[in-house]
Amino acid sequence: MNSRLKCTATALVLFLSGCSAKTETIEIINPTDFIDNTAAVNTIDTINNSQLIGVTGFDIMLNNAPAVGVAIGIVPRVNNEPSSQNFVEVTTLRSLIAADTTITATANNNANISISTYWRDQRYVQSTAHDTHVTLRILSLDRLSKTGFISVQARLVDLDSGEFIHVEQEQVVITGQDFINLVGR
């Protein structure tokens, strides 16, 4: 395992340590997502078949204010332990969490939202030097049923290779403890 992959795995473990136990039920949705992709530089891949991994259950900060992070993706499990990772982390200010809210950034121009993606052993981020963007939509929040729906769209770049990736998650359901983590304690 290379050092970059070890660092990515450590970041996922730290992120998930504050998420609800829901992460225990994550299974591979689409096994083809694990096929090695040796496409040419600048080939665009699209992430659109992921599930919620978890919502941070601990205090984090973004732009010097309380924030919340959401991880979506595919984490296969071997002996009930994460064995590899393909995930998207999006973080925004806790004060912006409300139904019918849209938070966007183009070329990393909004300090109130942060996103990074670890996919097929590559890290993709927003960049001021590339055509990147992110949109987080909080579609609905139902406090009675403890259910919320979000969508995430993004175009991110691997700064080492120049390759782009699209995130097109039209609807991610957030329930139970993850919902409580999302809306605050």
What confidence tens digit (pLDDT) does each residue in 34-73 have? 333 333 345 456 776 678 899 999 989 999 999 999 999 8
**Residue 11 or 59, more confident:** 59
Q: Residue 45: which domain range?
A: 3-183
Q: Which residue has the higher pLDDT, 75 or 154?
A: 154
Provide the whole-model pTM: 0.74
Q: Of all residues in the chain, what percent carry a pLDDT higher than 70?
A: 69
pLDDT at position 77? 63
Distance of CA 82 to the CA centre of its chain: 16
Question: What is the DSSP code string of 61-83?
Answer: EETTEEEEEEEEEE--EETTEE-
**DSSP label at residue 40:** P
Instruction: Tally the domains of the chain.
Output: 1
Residue 92's closest CA among 70, 71, 124?
A: 70
Region 110-138: what's the mean pLDDT? 94
Q: Return the H-helix or E-strand segment holding 7.
A: helix 3-17
Amino acid (one-letter) located at 68? V
